[in-house]
Amino acid sequence: MRWVIVGAGAVGGVVGGRLAVAGHEVVLVARGAHLEAIRRDGLALHSPEGQRTLRLPVVAAVTEHEWRPGDVAVLAVKGMDTPDVLRPLAAVAPAETPVLCLQNGVANERAALRLFPNVYGVHVVLPATHLAPGVVVAHSAPTPGGLDLGRYPGGVDDTAETLAAGLRAAGFSAEALPDIMRWKYAKLLMNLGNALQALCGPDADGVDAIDALLRAEATEVLRAAGIDVASSQEDAQRRTGLLNLQPVEGTPRGGGSSWQSLARGTGTVEADYLNGEIVLLGRLHGVPTPANELARQLVNRAARDHIRPGALTPEAFLALLP
């Protein structure tokens, strides 16, 4: 089995690096300065256990990789980039290629299933950072995170068991689950606060109350849509003892994926597939979602205008809320 990590950023880079250290064959797909740094200097994998540099094959696009039976396409790009990856991937990869959605949100698996019959969702619990080209950081040790997975839309097969075993060999906590989307919707509820964290900063007073408002809207939406979600008690039990966050030399723990997007000035964030998913479902089922829509609009504007994270106060957010 060869793991092709499509998007070697924070999560993809850490997973690809750990798999390579465990002896798996890994190919990275990266872009821009990150691609050039990996080509020139290797992938720097930092963690509380130390730093190591990995010389791994890296390409600029899925079309540059010579796909073969036995390859696994691990999608680790953000949701807004998924369509641009899937179209060329379908043109070059064997039809039976397993597609592993190592991504936030719940829309990626459905998009992949249009083009590939073997799609697997992943419930990602992995605190990781990518701020500098060529460098990815895992903040938990000895277990870097949890990567439960399952076949989409449901079930477990031999491939799911093999993928989970490979991830466990790389040090992750990983189980094959028949109801993976219940867990991904639970993670979606948590990720609704990513936009607020990026806008206001991870430690701003008043963010928790707004985050609760975002989740309350989402809970009503998911109930109206008849979507089954893993409970907060189930999620808390799964996370018990999973993470052990520790300092990493030279890399303080900042914020999550959207915070990092603003910090790196990428120009985009994935809010349309997090808060925007709740907005979409709300429109489909007649449930108002003003807080999630405002968060989606504001963080998209901040990304587009290259505004640094933490520029908005929670009070200013509430003042803009209809």
Fold assignment, 2-178? Rossmann fold (3.40.50)
Q: In the numeric block, which tokens belong to residue 49?
A: 């256990």
The predicted structure's pLDDT at residue 158 = 98
- pLDDT at residue 173, rounded to an integer: 98
Say what the pLDDT of residue 249 is.
87
Q: What is the pTM of this model?
A: 0.96
Give the CATH number of domain 184-320; options: 2.70.150.10, 1.10.1040.10, 3.20.20.80, 3.30.1180.20: 1.10.1040.10
The pLDDT of residue 281: 98
Domain boundaries, the chain: 2-178, 184-320
Q: 46 with 18: CB under 8 angstroms?
A: no
**81-105 tens-digit pLDDT:** 999 999 999 999 999 999 999 999 9
Supply the pLDDT for residue 74.
98
Residues of the chain scoring pLDDT < 50? none
Predicted local distance difference test score (pLDDT) of residue 254: 86
